[in-house]
């Protein structure tokens, strides 16, 4: 399996792991005892896929990352109006544990600082602290997708040393922001901060917010979509305390940090990010967590003010060359081989905007191809916008597939991915301006690998042509006397649309395409013919004009039975003419069948 996104995440992980700045939180004794250099990064997508590296299964307490989730629970139970009468939503510009209220409203400035978080906890209904805490634990668990455990040792450590938070609780009680016993409310706050999570848990909690409140793994609706918008808005402006403005400018993601070393960030509609690293900066934010999120935002172009115009899946269609053969007519031997091995190909049609999330879904699916796939086509003709990170991800995917001996063709007539045909050449990569040319290249590559006679039919002798098979020696000699050998240069038009019937062309060398202009200056290929094939038969038999052009794609040699010589056969050798007509009719029917099959499959896509 080729995993481009994991490679990019590892790059960020390796670049930031050497940063050992900062100190673990020491005002809570249990937090001071953690391993300071633990480090993990997780990214969870809105369809539930998780990328992870490092210490992603190490439990640590959620601490202040709990704040947006309790705030969300308060909004669910009390409503936005009632909650806004208790908690403002403005950045404070002060440390998270400041003992202060807004001087005008006498309310906590936002729910992300301790005063606002304690107030939010007081709004959770229940007959006692245990009942309220169970509501909180169950709510957090619905975001994480599993039951979260309570860390009693950290709780008792916080309860022994949390005098500043108790002071905040009594301040809130003195102005009737908190109406219950402030000691019980602060105790509930200590409990919510003492739930154990892992980096993976946090990434799924973030992905649930990114997924409009629905857990992408379990499908549980943890929060109503309109409340998700409210919570993410406050996280964006207040989640990183007095460095929130710098964070929003540099990282551009709604986020929340905790003194346990976790950082949670959300890219709405796309991904959730979690980083765990216990060393903190003076603001109480993880040093490596901040650095990793900043690097991820830049590396993956995640700033939430740069968003795709439409949230559509990037992969529009997927199929194999066996389901969509090219318009290249093949010999019987080649068709038999392709019937067996064309399943070893994949075609992916992409569409919409390719920013990180769209590119991630595409490279994840394409990179997960099963063993045995030998060639891949990536069609970007319906893609509108491509970010730099998407280009890099697709280029990395191409190189990785090539390293696994899988050929890659890009259908990119506009050069959206920054490649031209000369950039990707040879057996493992090409750029094409149309899909059919890429499909033909796929078939050729498969035939090179699996058909021993492929390439040996670059030219044939006249007596080897299938139209002449079955004729007696005398008949073959007679018809040979009536055939003219003609040569055509590359790109020369052999016949033009509207021309009268010229004769029957038996291709002995090179390739000929039937093409048709569309009136807009674009020439469309209808079918490509190779040695052993014919054209001109229908106009000859029906005495009609050509409906499309025939052009030499390479230098071509053909044996031509002219219109006059064909007519003379009826008089001189009626049996020979009948045998020839039967051979021509069989070949024409075969060609029509292949054309119809191709058109039907193209329509189905």
Tens digit of each residue's pLDDT (9 = 90 or more) over 261-303: 999 999 999 999 999 999 999 888 999 999 999 999 999 999 8
Query: For 97-110, what is the mean pLDDT?
Result: 88
Indicate the range of 137-141, 186-190, 459-463 predicted with least confidence: 459-463
Average pLDDT, the chain: 89
- pLDDT score recorded for residue 552: 95
Burial group, residue 457, by CB count within 10 angstroms (0-12, 13-18, 19+): middle
- Residue 490: band (very low, low, confident or very high) from pLDDT cuts 50, 70, 90: very high
- Quick one: pLDDT at residue 542? 86
Contact 578, 524 (CB under 8 A): no
pLDDT exceeds cutoff 90 at 10: yes
pLDDT (0 to 100) of residue 420:
57
Q: How far apart are CA 157 and CA 26, in angstroms?
A: 11
Please provide the size of the chain in residues: 605
Compute how many other C-beta atoms are within 10 angstroms of the C-beta atom of residue 396.
18
373 with 401: CB under 8 angstroms?
no
Give the whole-angstrom CA distance, residue 209 versus residue 462.
71
Judge whether residue 310 has pLDDT over 50.
no
Task: Give the catalytic positions in this structure.
Answer: 64, 67, 189, 241, 259
* Sheet of 407-411, strand order: 315-319, 345-354, 375-386, 407-411, 429-432
Rounded CA gap, 150 and 141, in Å?
11
pLDDT for the residue numbered 522: 75
| pLDDT of 468 strictly over 90 | no
More confident call, 261 vs 326: 261
315-450 CATH: 3.30.750.24
Residue 75 has pLDDT above 60, yes or no: yes
Which of 551, 570, 569 lies closest to 512 in space, CA to CA?
A: 551
Q: Binning pLDDT at 50, 70 and 90, where does residue 457 land?
A: low
Q: Are 297 and 241 in contact (CB under 8 A)?
A: no
Delimit the domains of the chain by residue range: 4-300, 315-450, 458-604
Q: Is the predicted pLDDT of residue 601 greater than 70, yes or no?
A: no
Q: Which CATH superfamily is domain 458-604 in?
A: Jelly Rolls (2.60.120.10)
Distances (CA, A) of 70 to 63, 196, 254, 281, 315: 12, 15, 16, 25, 37
User: Given the DSSP bridges, would you call strands 503-509 and 407-411 parallel, antiparallel or unpaired?
Assistant: unpaired
Cβ neighbours for 243, distance < 8 A, ≥ 6 positions apart: 283, 285
**pLDDT tens digits for 215-234?**
999 999 999 999 999 999 99
For residue 91, the Cα-to-chain-centroid distance in whole angstroms is 36
Report the pLDDT value the prediction gives residue 65, as an integer from 0 to 100.
97
pLDDT single digits (tens) 189-203: 999 999 999 999 999
Query: What CATH class does 4-300 carry?
Result: alpha beta
Q: Which two tokens stand for residue 197?
A: 């999570």
């Amino acid at each position: 399996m080729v995993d481009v996104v994991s490679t990019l995440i590892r790059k960020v992980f390796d670049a930031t792991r050497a940063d050992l700045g900062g100190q673990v939180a020491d005002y809570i004794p249990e937090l001071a005892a953690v391993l300071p250099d633990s480090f993990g990064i997780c990214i969870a997508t809105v369809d539930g896929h998780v990328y992870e590296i490092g210490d992603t299964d190490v439990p640590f307490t959620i601490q202040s990352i709990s704040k947006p989730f309790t705030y969300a629970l308060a909004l669910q139970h009390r409503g936005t109006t009632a909650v806004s009468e208790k908690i403002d939503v403005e950045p404070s510009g002060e440390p998270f544990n400041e003992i202060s209220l807004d001087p005008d409203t006498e309310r906590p400035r936002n729910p992300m600082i301790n005063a606002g978080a304690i107030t939010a906890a007081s709004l959770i209904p229940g007959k006692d602290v245990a009942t309220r805490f169970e509501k909180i634990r169950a709510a957090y668990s619905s975001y994480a997708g599993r039951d979260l455990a309570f860390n009693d040792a950290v709780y008792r450590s916080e309860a022994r040393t949390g005098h500043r938070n108790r002071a905040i609780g009594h301040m809130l009680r003195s102005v009737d922001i908190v109406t219950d016993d402030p000691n019980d409310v602060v105790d509930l706050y200590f409990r919510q901060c003492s739930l154990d999570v892992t980096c993976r848990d946090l990434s799924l909690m973030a992905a649930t917010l990114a997924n409009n409140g629905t857990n992408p793994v379990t499908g549980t609706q943890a929060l109503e979509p309109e409340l998700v918008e409210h919570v993410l808005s406050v996280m964006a402006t207040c989640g990183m305390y007095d460095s929130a403005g710098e964070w929003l400018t540099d990282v551009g993601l709604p986020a929340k940090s905790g003194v346990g070393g976790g950082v949670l960030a959300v890219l709405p509609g796309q991904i959730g990010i979690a980083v765990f690293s216990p060393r903190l900066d003076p603001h109480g934010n993880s040093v490596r967590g901040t650095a990793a999120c900043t690097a991820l935002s830049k590396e993956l172009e995640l700033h939430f003010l740069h968003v795709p115009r439409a949230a559509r899946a990037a992969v529009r269609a997927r199929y194999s060359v066996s389901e969509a053969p090219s318009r290249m007519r093949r010999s019987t031997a080649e068709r038999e081989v392709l019937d067996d091995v064309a399943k070893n190909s994949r075609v992916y049609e992409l569409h919409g905007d390719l920013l990180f999330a769209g590119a991630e879904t595409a490279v994840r699916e394409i990179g997960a191809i099963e063993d045995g796939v030998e060639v891949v086509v990536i069609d970007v003709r319906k893609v509108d916008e491509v970010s730099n990170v998407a280009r890099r991800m697709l280029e990395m995917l191409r190189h990785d597939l090539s390293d696994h001996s899988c050929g890659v063709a890009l259908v990119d007539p506009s050069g959206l991915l920054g490649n031209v045909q000369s950039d990707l050449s040879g057996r493992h990569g090409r750029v094409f301006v149309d899909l059919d040319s890429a499909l033909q290249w796929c078939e050729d590559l498969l035939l090179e690998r699996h058909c021993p006679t492929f390439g040996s039919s670059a030219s044939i002798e006249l007596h080897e042509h299938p139209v002449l098979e079955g004729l007696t020696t005398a008949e073959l000699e007679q018809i040979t006397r009536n055939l003219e050998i003609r040569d055509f240069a590359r790109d020369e038009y052999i016949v033009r649309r509207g021309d009268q019937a010229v004769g029957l062309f038996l291709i002995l060398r090179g390739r000929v395409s039937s093409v048709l202009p569309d009136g807009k200056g674009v020439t469309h290929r209808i079918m490509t013919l190779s040695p052993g094939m014919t054209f001109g038969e229908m106009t000859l038999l029906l005495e009609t004009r050509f409906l499309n052009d025939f052009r030499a794609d390479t230098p071509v040699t053909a044996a031509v039975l002219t219109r006059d010589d064909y007519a003379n056969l009826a008089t001189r050798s009626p049996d020979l003419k009948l045998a020839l007509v039967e051979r021509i009719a069989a070949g024409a029917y075969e060609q029509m069948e292949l054309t119809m099959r191709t058109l039907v499959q193209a329509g189905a896509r």
